[in-house]
């Protein structure tokens, strides 16, 4: 794959950190953003000698625009922008507070919106570019009900991504817009979630796909950069689960409640 300038938010740990190291090893030029400055700097050092670390709170529009400006100053252009920052929650719908919902929307939806609005005009001016929004399988199928507000925010992200893709296809066909939907990934995501996960079954039906590693997910995203497509379930088995849900919601939810 030809050298690209890639921006990754949420790059200090988990999928973002793993992806940064994978892409850096492949020779890509990286701009990495996250709030945790020390961890981010370590990831940048491991990823690539020229990787740029930008301490940023992506729930703040000015910080996201600052990440874009640093990338353009350092490398002159951006080829790929990956909105990867996210945070979970462990509360059911009836237990959610206003603050819970606001936090989930800010971290999982508005941060990506800011990224889209910051970088797409640059892509439009160049006539090319690739925007990748990292969502979640839970934004499509309610397998884990205590991730309620997180799932809702990711569902909204799915919709914004699709609408942007349709808009740009009409006017700027050289710009690619992709949605990535991992399932359960073996990272510290659950540990860093708001609230505690309830001590009850997740609702996943028997035979649900096994969790993936961050390395497996980052490999899928790296492949997506080389071969763009509209949507990607990083775990191929999730395609069938999603189709099962969409084809017969009542039956699917009935089976899940008995799992």
**CB-based contact 92:150 (threshold 8 Å):** no
Q: How many CA atoms lie within 13 A of 30 on its CB side?
A: 33
For residue 258, give every residue at least 6 positions away whose Cβ sits within 8 Å of its Cβ, in sequence order, or none: none
What is the DSSP secondary structure assignment for residue 138, as one 8-state letter?
G
Cα dihedral value 169, 171, 175, 176, nearest 10:
-10
For residue 243, give every residue at least 6 positions away whose Cβ sits within 8 Å of its Cβ, in sequence order, or none: none
**CB-based contact 234:179 (threshold 8 Å):** no
Secondary-structure breakdown of the chain: helix, strand, coil percentages, each rounded to the nearest 5: 50, 15, 35
Helix (H) or strand (E) holding 169: helix 148-171
CA distance 74 to 11: 18
CA distance 115 to 129: 13
Verify whether residue 150 is a known catalytic residue. Answer: yes
User: Catalytic site residues?
Assistant: 150
């Amino acid at each position: 794959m030809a050298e690209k300038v890639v921006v990754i938010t949420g790059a200090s740990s988990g999928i973002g950190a793993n992806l940064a190291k994978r892409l850096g090893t492949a020779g890509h030029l990286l701009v990495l953003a996250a709030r945790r400055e020390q961890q981010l700097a370590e990831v940048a050092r491991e990823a690539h000698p020229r990787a740029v670390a930008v301490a940023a709170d992506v729930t703040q529009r000015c910080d996201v625009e600052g990440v874009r400006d640093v990338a353009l100053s350092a490398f002159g252009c951006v080829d790929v922008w990956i909105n990867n920052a996210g945070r979970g929650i462990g509360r059911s719908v009836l237990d959610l507070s206003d603050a819970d919902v606001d936090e989930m929307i800010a971290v999982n939806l508005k941060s990506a919106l800011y990224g889209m609005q910051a970088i797409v005009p640059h892509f439009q001016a160049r006539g090319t570019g690739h925007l990748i929004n990292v969502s979640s399988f839970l934004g499509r199928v309610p397998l884990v009900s205590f991730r309620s507000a997180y799932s809702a925010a990711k569902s909204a992200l799915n919709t914004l991504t699709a609408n942007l893709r349709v808009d740009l296809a009409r006017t700027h066909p050289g710009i690619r817009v992709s949605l990535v939907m991992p399932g359960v990934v073996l990272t510290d995501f659950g540990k860093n979630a708001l609230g505690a996960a309830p001590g009850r079954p997740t609702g996943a039906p028997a035979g649900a796909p096994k969790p993936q590693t961050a390395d497996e997910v980052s490999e899928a995203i790296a492949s997506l950069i080389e071969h763009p497509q509209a949507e990607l379930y990083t775990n191929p088995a999730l395609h069938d689960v999603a189709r099962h849900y969409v084809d017969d919601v009542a039956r699917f939810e009935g089976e899940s409640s008995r799992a």
